[in-house]
Amino acid sequence: MIFSDISRDLLDLDEALARQMGVMDRCRFIHAPADDLSAIGDATVDAVTTRSVLIYVADKQGYFNEMGRVLRPGGHVSLFEPINRYSYDEDPNRFWGFDVSPVQDIAEKIHSVYAQRQPIDSDQMMNFDERNLLAFAERAGFAERHLELHVDITRWPPRP
Ligand SMILES: C[S@@+](CC[C@H](N)C(=O)[O-])C[C@H]1O[C@@H](n2cnc3c(N)ncnc32)[C@H](O)[C@@H]1O
């Protein structure tokens, strides 16, 4: 089992848990960005699983290419990613679903800060959706691809 993350803190936590479970002899920890897994040899891994990491990676194709490189022929990737692209086309009276018409000027200010800091077309957390994920996988050489799109639209309790 290889644990890989860009955060030393997260790897330390993984290591503490593995030690507690008595499975350290089966674990390896790699401190690396997802799009550079050079510490892992070509075609040496049976399966890759990742959740909510790709969203932080600018070079998403590089990440898929690395997953393809380290996998043995016939290996699998299982990944989960939140898709943010669709959430930001709201009516100006709404903010994350809440009616903000009485404070619309403030809501617009906040929208414009987000639009500056995370432009929807270029920010790595916003600029992709499930179709891009399929295309990245195809370009990285994954012959068979399965996509499940799960949409949750729920009311959040208002926060102060
Ligand atoms: C939202 S957390 C998800 C953690 C875990 N995969 C889970 O599902 O609970 C995002 C993780 O991605 C890692 N991360 C962010 N940017 C990364 C990068 N460029 N390369 C590798 N890991 C990265 C963070 O350190 C963090 O552990």
Residue 22 resides in a domain:
no
Around Cβ 70, how many Cβ atoms within 10 Å?
Answer: 20
Choose the residue to mutate in 30, 38, 49, 56 for probing ligand 1, maximizing ligand atoms within 8 Å of C-beta. Answer: 56
Cα–ligand 1 centroid distance for 91 (angstroms):
32
Residue 116 resides in a domain:
yes
Residue 115 resides in a domain:
yes
Atom in ligand 1 nearest the alpha carbon of residue 9: 25
Cα–ligand 1 centroid distance for 101 (angstroms):
36
Find out whether the beta carbon of 140 lies less than 6 Å from any atom of ligand 1.
no
Choose the residue to mutate in 15, 53, 60, 61 for probing ligand 1, maximizing ligand atoms within 8 Å of C-beta. Answer: 53
Q: Model confidence over 25-41: pLDDT tens digits? A: 999 999 999 999 999 99
| Domains of the chain: total | 1
Contacts of 39 (CB under 8 A, 6+ apart): 30, 32
Tell me which residue range forms the domain holding 95. Answer: 84-125
Confirm whether pTM is higher than 0.95.
no
- Both tokens of 100, joined, read 């903000």
Per-residue pLDDT at 69: 97
Residue 155 resides in a domain:
no
84: phi then psi, degrees, rounded to nearest 5: -100, -15
72: phi then psi, degrees, rounded to nearest 5: -70, 155
Per-residue pLDDT at 94: 86
Residue 96 resides in a domain:
yes
Residue 25 resides in a domain:
no
Residue 53 resides in a domain:
no
Residue 111 resides in a domain:
yes
